[in-house]
């Protein structure tokens, strides 16, 4: 697992790659739209130039797909390193990427757009034919008019799709994002904490929590023989909710120690679901698993030997 310095360096590389990919998306959409506009404008008077533009557009679409896939592979590697070193970032990604699979943003921008652009150019080239004398000319006017209208519509679609994806990206950077996780108390390494944190950039309001079962609290015990009877959580943020949680703000609850929690939980984790709002808009619910099995062999067991 990467240490903090490595995570910082990986994050800086990832931000650079993401910015580079974003700028290349802009260049691709702009250039393809300009080539289509030039093709439509020159097609009726200079079909040879129009054909050159079409071939250039097709070549650029292929080049873009290959280039985008190469950069995306590097970003995927950096992303895996970040998720391995920072569980909070891993949960953040799961929360802010509700659209996955074949409709994910990465496939739309890196694969579907180049394929659509390439197919558009093929359809446009059909509108050009070679006369018996070897001169390039347009086919019948009605067909050409229809193709020109289709090209203009697809150009507008490209621009609208890119604008929508950019809007989602910008909006996501200004939204709250609430995560819930278990961690070591840095000042008391044998103590495990439940942390409710807003790692986004907006104010989260009206936070409410639902639980799959009762949550134990004050479950102390540094060994199996040393465990003490725990109590059930009757109040606090996970029971009463939180009116508002600012960017970077958190609520930290001392939950207990490893063996005490292991006995109290009985091998069954607690599933917590958080619902909250960004202004008047309800955000996607966040689900977290409160468990202690993953702390086996960590400082939660070992630190008391050195205290």
Where a domain ends, among 156, 173, 190? 173
- Distance between CA atoms of 32 and 38, rounded to whole angstroms? 10
pLDDT, one tens digit per residue, over 201-251 is 889 999 999 999 999 988 888 787 778 778 899 999 999 999 999 988 999
Where a domain ends, among 173, 199, 217? 173
Range name among 91-95, 97-101, 190-194 with the lowest pLDDT average: 97-101
- Distance between CA atoms of 13 and 2, rounded to whole angstroms? 14
Per-residue pLDDT at 129: 55
- Across 9-18, 86-95, 254-263, which has the greatest mean pLDDT? 254-263
194 & 71 share domain: no
Per-residue pLDDT at 244: 94
Higher pLDDT, 262 or 89: 262
- Distance between CA atoms of 20 and 190, rounded to whole angstroms? 43
Nearest by Cα to 60 from 22, 24, 23, 102: 24
Phi, then psi, of 241 in degrees rounded to 5: 85, 180
155 & 61 share domain: yes
Per-residue pLDDT at 149: 67
- Distance between CA atoms of 91 and 180, rounded to whole angstroms? 9
pLDDT, one tens digit per residue, over 121-178 is 887 777 665 444 433 445 555 555 666 666 667 666 766 766 776 666 666 667 888 9
166 & 184 share domain: no
pLDDT, one tens digit per residue, over 31-60 is 887 887 777 677 666 777 878 888 888 888
Range name among 65-79, 249-263, 272-286 with the lowest pLDDT average: 65-79
9 & 158 share domain: yes
Work out the average pLDDT over 9-27. 75
Higher pLDDT, 237 or 5: 237
37 & 121 share domain: yes
209 & 282 share domain: yes
Where a domain ends, among 122, 142, 173? 173
Q: What's the whole-model pTM score?
A: 0.53
Domain around 215:
178-306
- Distance between CA atoms of 128 and 124, rounded to whole angstroms? 8
Confidence class for position 116, pLDDT limits 50, 70, 90: confident
Per-residue pLDDT at 294: 83
118 & 249 share domain: no
3-state helix, strand, coil in the chain (%, to 5): 55, 20, 20
């Amino acid at each position: 697992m990467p240490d903090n310095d490595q995570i910082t360096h990986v994050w800086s590389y990832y931000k650079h790659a993401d910015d580079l990919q974003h700028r290349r998306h802009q260049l691709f959409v702009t250039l393809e739209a300009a080539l289509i506009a030039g093709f439509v404008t020159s097609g009726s008077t200079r079909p040879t130039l129009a054909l050159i533009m079409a071939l250039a557009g097709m070549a650029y679409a292929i080049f873009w797909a290959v280039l985008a896939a190469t950069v995306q592979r590097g970003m995927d590697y950096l992303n895996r390193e970040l998720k391995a070193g920072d569980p909070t970032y891993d949960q953040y990604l799961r929360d802010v990427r509700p659209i996955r699979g074949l409709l994910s943003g990465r496939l739309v921008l890196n694969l579907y757009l180049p394929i659509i652009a390439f197919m558009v150019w093929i359809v446009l080239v059909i509108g050009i034919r070679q006369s018996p004398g070897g001169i390039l000319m347009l086919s019948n006017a009605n067909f050409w008019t229809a193709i020109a209208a289709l090209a203009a519509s697809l150009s507008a679609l490209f621009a609208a799709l890119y604008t929508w994806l950019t809007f989602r990206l910008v909006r996501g950077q200004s939204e709250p994002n609430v995560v819930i996780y278990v961690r070591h108390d840095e000042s008391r390494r044998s103590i495990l904490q439940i942390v409710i944190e807003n790692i986004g950039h907006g104010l989260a309001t009206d936070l409410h929590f639902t639980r799959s079962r009762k949550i134990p609290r004050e479950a102390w015990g540094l060994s199996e023989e040393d465990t003490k009877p725990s109590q059930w959580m009757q109040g606090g943020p996970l029971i009463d909710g939180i009116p508002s949680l600012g960017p970077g703000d958190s609520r930290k609850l001392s939950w207990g120690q490893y063996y005490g929690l292991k006995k109290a939980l009985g091998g069954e984790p607690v599933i917590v679901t958080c619902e909250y709002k960004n202004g008047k808009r309800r955000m996607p619910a966040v689900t977290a698993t409160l468990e202690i099995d993953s702390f086996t062999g960590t400082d939660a067991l070992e630190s008391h030997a050195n205290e």
